[in-house]
Structure 1
């Protein structure tokens, strides 16, 4: 049976203990001509003092989720030297941290012996998976929900193995 994909507020709103996110791509839906990535390439950087200008409503949702006592963690497996897009992510990560997320980075060469699922995912309370599917160009190809216990265990084990080896954002030096 296929489950409908909830909205982000519904998904994170359902979390009672934890929400973990594993990202494994070096590029996501990059538009070099317009949008936040293009603005970053042109020199724009978020002002740490201007929280109102940061990515809304996503950061508000993270802040609300964390304020309910939910532990929100994100791990990124990245190739080194990092892609330009990864530099863009790195430069804006302080906004996620300010909203309450914990974020770590794992160089891909240190992930070779970790059993990883084939797609990025969110795992809610260790049981509900939101698979994130992407095209070869990095555009979203939609999400999928699963409550399969074996898949949830794979995701939980993979995330924890990555988290254990990964470097906290404030210690990771981009190369």
Structure 2
């Protein structure tokens, strides 16, 4: 497993031409780049203009990819009732949608009969997977790139199964 040396995500998405799908399966992440946003949301209970500005690099990356014709989809499997972190994610997802991402949510109980990979992932143009590995507390520990056709197929099928069962963001209530 290679947990370092993966190119920055911006390079990977820059090479993407058709589709980029993201499968998220954790109830909490402890990502350093979100720490200020999450703390602010916990204190105020809303997404602020400052939070929008901190997210601008990601939102601009999505807009640029979508403008090139890349279809970006994100599916989140979540426990119900949702964690505080998932409430935070849900509160800010409208920004992802406005930027062009399609987002669906699936309660974990509805995913019980699906064959799923053991890690979050991005699948780019059905040719490359970027697995995201996290510690138990949600801290990112690295990424792994994979081009194995069997793994690509497994992950593509898993994502599509979650997507099919998932609820679009604007219809999903927490």
TM over 0.5: yes
CA distance in 2, matches of 1:26, 1:52: 22
Asked whether 1:15 is paired with 2:16, we answer yes
SS in 2 for 1:55: helix
Contact 1:19/1:124 (<8 A) preserved: yes
Instruction: Give SS of 1:36's match.
Output: helix
Distance 1:27 1:68 in 2: 32
Equivalent position SS for 1:106: strand
**Aligned equivalent of 2:68:** 68
Name structure 1 gaps, 5 residues minimum. Answer: none
Q: Distance in 2 between matches of 1:127 and 1:81?
A: 35
Q: Is the 8 A contact 1:12 1:124 kept in 2?
A: yes
Residue 142 in 1 paired to residue 119 in 2?
no
* Residue equivalent to 1:43: 44
Deviations for 1:80-136, whole angstroms, at most 9, x for unmatched residues?
000000000000000000110000000000001100000000000112000000001
- 1:73 partner SS: strand
Q: Is the 8 A contact 2:18 2:71 kept in 1?
A: yes
- Corresponding residue number in structure 2 for 1:78: 78
Q: How many angstroms does 1:55 deviate by? A: 0.3
CA contact (8 A) 1:54 1:95 kept: no
- Cross-structure match for 2:28: 27
Give SS of 1:142's match.
strand
SS in 2 for 1:35: helix
Q: Does structure 2 conserve the Cα–Cα contact (< 8 Å) formed by 1:4 and 1:145?
A: no
How far off its partner does 1:8 sit? 1.4
TM-score, normalised with respect to structure 2 = 0.92
User: Aligned-residue CA RMSD in angstroms?
Assistant: 2.1
Alpha-carbon distance change, 91 to 18 in structure 1, aligned in 2, over 3 angstroms: same
Please list every run of at least 4 consecutive aligned residues from structure 1 whose deviation after the TM superposition is greater than 3 angstroms.
Answer: 1-4
Say if 1:74 and 1:104, in contact at 8 Å, map to a contact too: yes
Equivalent position of 2:101 in the other structure: 101
